Amino acid sequence: MDTLSYKTISANKATAQKDWVVIDAENQVLGRLASQAAKIIRGKNKANFTPNVDCGDNVIIINAEKIKLTGKKLTDKVYTRHTGYPGGQRFRTPREMLSKNPAFILEHAIKGMLPKNRLGSRLFTNLYVYAGDKHPHTSQQPKEVKLEY
């Protein structure tokens, strides 16, 4: 027998079936929503998942300002950044971040769940987070997704 009766099918850029998905973040827990969104962006929910190819869907998250954090994380969790100057370490709580840029908290959580390489950077461009319930991607006809944990 010179040929196999089965072949492992790997997705590539041309054969990847990329759809558009809308997730409503209202009253969702941050980490649980982020892990589900990262799984969809990566493509792990599809049968033809290939680890080294961008085969996931484009994810639109609306109502980012209505995300929930459990416990006292809204005031006790700290986001740290550095300006690059000596003594330039800056700290912000999620409450301050929600008032300034509500999308950042979700983007930061999801980015941390994606691969730390060129593929991860490419996958992150498939995420669109909006504070309100409106988004400019209606022409892509995205499907509404209900998340169950």
Q: What is the pLDDT of residues 54-106, one digit of tens each?
A: 999 999 999 999 999 999 999 999 999 999 999 999 999 999 999 999 999 99
Number of CB atoms found within 10 A of residue 7's CB: 7
Nearest 10 degrees: Cα torsion 137, 40, 62, 21: 40
Residue 115 belongs to domain spanning: 20-144
CATH number at residue 87: 3.90.1180.10
Q: Tokens 């971040």 map to which residue?
A: 97
3-state DSSP assignment of residue 106: helix
Residue 14 counted as domain residue: no
Question: For residue 6, what pLDDT band results from cuts at 50, 70 and 90?
Answer: confident
Residue 149 counted as domain residue: no
| 125 phi, psi to nearest 5 deg | -75, -10
Residue 7 counted as domain residue: no
Average pLDDT, the chain: 94
Residue 10 counted as domain residue: no
Q: Tokens 């982020």 map to which residue?
A: 34
Residue 44 counted as domain residue: yes
Question: For residue 1, what pLDDT band results from cuts at 50, 70 and 90?
Answer: low
Residue 11 counted as domain residue: no
Residue bearing the bigger pLDDT, 127 or 47: 127
Residue 5 counted as domain residue: no
In this prediction, residue 2 carries a pLDDT of: 63
Residue 13 counted as domain residue: no
Q: Are 91 and 66 in contact (CB under 8 A)?
A: no
How many structural domains is the chain composed of? 1
In this prediction, residue 101 carries a pLDDT of: 95
Of the candidates 139, 110, 143, 122, the residue with the CA atom closest to the CA atom of residue 20: 143
Q: What is the pLDDT of residues 102-149, one digit of tens each?
A: 999 999 999 999 999 999 999 999 999 999 999 999 999 999 999 887
